[in-house]
Chain A
Amino acid sequence: AQTVTQSQPEMSVQEAETVTLSCTYDTSESDYYLFWYKQPPSRQMILVIRQEAYKQQNATENRFSVNFQKAAKSFSLKISDSQLGDAAMYFCAYRTIQGAQKLVFGQGTRLTINP
């Protein structure tokens, strides 16, 4: 079974600075999908960014980018120019290519933005 580990329960960053959230996973599959989801306080979980394992190029979405290291099974999220609205719980998630489209989540990282 696949597992996802986020080793940083909490992180904080100054507004306008850059922060990196870590995620590692364990799988025996060669193809899969990886996601970062954001859960703002008392608000709905939303997708931040996604990566296909067979694509070597790291995904980017505006201020959000990932560092995908397939051999190391690492999938970190970098947030540039942090904004107050980035404060949230961030979850890393894994999904297999085949079968049910269920997600396997990490423990989450609570990100605080300091003004």
Chain B
Amino acid sequence: DVKVTQSSRYLVKRTGEKVFLECVQDMDHENMFWYRQDPGLGLRLIYFSYDVKMKEKGDIPEGYSVSREKKERFSLILESASTNQTSMYLCASIISGGGYNEQFFGPGTRLTVL
């Protein structure tokens, strides 16, 4: 089974802190994604990566950056956390090559910024 894991289920940080959210997948997937989930808004794409050291902005990249130094690991970085970044963050991965493939999701990290 594909497994996507995230470093924390719950995280509480203070305004202005630098925050790292880690995601690891164990199925050698090329493509990885970070989404933000908010009530009434669904999931919105923050950043994605289609290869090591490659990244592209999604729909809401402001205030975030990402890092992908190894194929299995994709990190989301909040350079200076703000209260409006309080949210659920979901990581996902998928094999490359298009087609009918499904994205596999991690359990999510619920981040609270005080």
Which residues of A pack against B, CB within 8 Å?
4, 6, 9, 33, 35, 37, 43-47, 50, 52, 91, 97-98, 100-108
Q: Give the number of residues in B that approach A within 8 Å (Cβ atoms).
A: 26
A-B contacts besides A100-B48, A104-B45, 7 pairs, CB < 8 Å: A37-B105, A43-B107, A44-B106, A46-B105, A103-B33, A105-B35, A105-B43
By secondary structure, the A interface counts as loop
**Closest residue to B41 on the A side, CB-wise?**
A107
Q: With A and B bound together, what is the CA distance between A98 and B35 in angstroms? A: 20
Q: Per a CB cutoff under 8 Å, which of B48, B90, B94, B96 touches A45?
A: B90
- Give min CB distance, B108 to chain A, whole Å: 8
**29 sample A-B contacts, Cβ–Cβ < 8 Å, listed by A number:** A6-B42, A33-B100, A35-B102, A37-B105, A44-B107, A45-B105, A45-B108, A46-B105, A47-B102, A91-B42, A98-B98, A100-B50, A100-B56, A101-B94, A101-B96, A101-B98, A101-B101, A101-B103, A102-B33, A102-B48, A102-B58, A103-B33, A103-B45, A103-B92, A103-B103, A105-B35, A105-B44, A106-B42, A107-B42
Q: Within 8 Å CB of A100, what residues of B?
A: 31, 48, 50, 56
Cβ contact within 8 Å between A50 and B42: no
Q: Within 8 Å CB of B90, what residues of A?
A: 45
Q: Within 8 Å CB of B98, what residues of A?
A: 97-98, 101
- Give min CB distance, A58 to chain B, whole Å: 15
Q: With A and B bound together, what is the CA distance between A76 and B58 in angstroms? A: 26
Q: For chain B residues 60-114, which have a beta carbon within 8 Å of chain A?
A: 90, 92, 94, 96, 98, 100-103, 105-108
Q: Within 8 Å CB of B102, what residues of A?
A: 35, 47, 50
Cβ contact within 8 Å between B42 and A52: no
- Give min CB distance, A48 to chain B, whole Å: 10
Cβ contact within 8 Å between A107 and B40: yes
